[in-house]
């Protein structure tokens, strides 16, 4: 089911837009308090992102003999040092010139060893690739960790953290306060994701429809409850 049903785009026909908003609000109310497991799965995805980035750093570091974890810092410090008294960390890990031994058959068929100096042009590319990878993985690890921490905090106090994020776009505190008292962690998560994919106008209209749908549901429950109590008392007699 396409839950947002085109509301991520501005629908100029107001009647069609309001119909879609009403359908989404009715679904939201019907599925209220059933999205907690889905929200936990989203949290696990963020956790896996962090594990994936840190795992990549660890594996590359093991592949390069423990040199990758500080590779980017060593390159930065190398650029700041005196050119006459510095050791290139890129050349340490990826040497461009090395000693080679060539084996060649002589005139009598005996193997002869020849020492030579070999140039490894591929390492000129490798050293640049791994510098980029170091900074890229560090940036990803920072972003992933911040995202995970933000997600955890939002799940512990969703009505405070997520509401502030929504108010920055919706600016409809009254509607959020009214619907928020019936929502749990998963509902706040779903509402926030819907909000990030909606225009300001559509979001405010949807919140109004959601408020109306929740009021109707609560009125229906308040009307049905006395009828059920009356029916129960009749059956007891």
Q: What is the pTM of this model?
A: 0.71
Q: What is the pLDDT of residues 199-228, one digit of tens each?
A: 888 888 888 888 888 888 877 766 554 444
Q: Which long-range contacts (CB under 8 A, 24 or more apart) does 152-159 make?
A: 152/43, 154/188, 154/189, 155/39, 155/43, 155/185, 155/189, 158/183, 158/184, 158/185, 158/188, 158/189, 159/183, 159/188
Query: Quick check: helix, strand or coil at residue 86?
Result: coil
Q: What is the pLDDT of residues 2-49, one digit of tens each?
A: 777 777 776 767 788 888 888 888 888 888 888 888 888 989 999 999
Quickly list DSSP for 114-139.
EEEEEE-THHHHHHHHHHHHHHHHHH
């Amino acid at each position: 089911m396409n839950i947002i049903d085109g509301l991520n785009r501005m629908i100029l026909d107001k009647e069609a837009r309001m119909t879609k908003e009403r359908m989404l609000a009715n679904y939201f109310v019907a599925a209220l308090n059933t999205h907690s497991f889905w929200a936990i799965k989203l949290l696990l995805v963020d956790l896996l992102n962090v594990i994936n980035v840190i795992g990549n750093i660890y594996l590359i570091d093991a592949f390069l003999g423990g040199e990758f974890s500080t590779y980017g810092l060593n390159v930065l410090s190398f650029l700041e040092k005196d050119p006459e008294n510095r050791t290139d960390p890129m050349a340490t890990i990826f040497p461009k010139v090395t000693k080679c031994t060539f084996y060649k058959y002589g005139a009598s068929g005996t193997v002869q060893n020849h020492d030579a100096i070999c140039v490894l042009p591929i390492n000129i590319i490798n050293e640049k690739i791994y510098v980029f990878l170091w900074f890229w993985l560090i940036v990803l690890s920072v972003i992933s960790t911040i995202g995970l921490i933000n997600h955890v905090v939002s799940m512990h106090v969703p009505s405070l953290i997520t509401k502030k994020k929504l108010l920055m776009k919706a600016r409809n505190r009254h509607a959020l306060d009214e619907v928020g008292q019936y929502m749990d962690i998963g509902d706040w998560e779903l509402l926030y994701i819907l909000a990030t994919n909606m225009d300001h106008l559509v979001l405010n209209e949807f919140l109004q429809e959601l408020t109306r749908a929740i009021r109707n549901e609560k009125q229906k429950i308040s009307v049905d409850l006395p009828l059920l109590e009356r029916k129960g008392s009749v059956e007891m007699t």
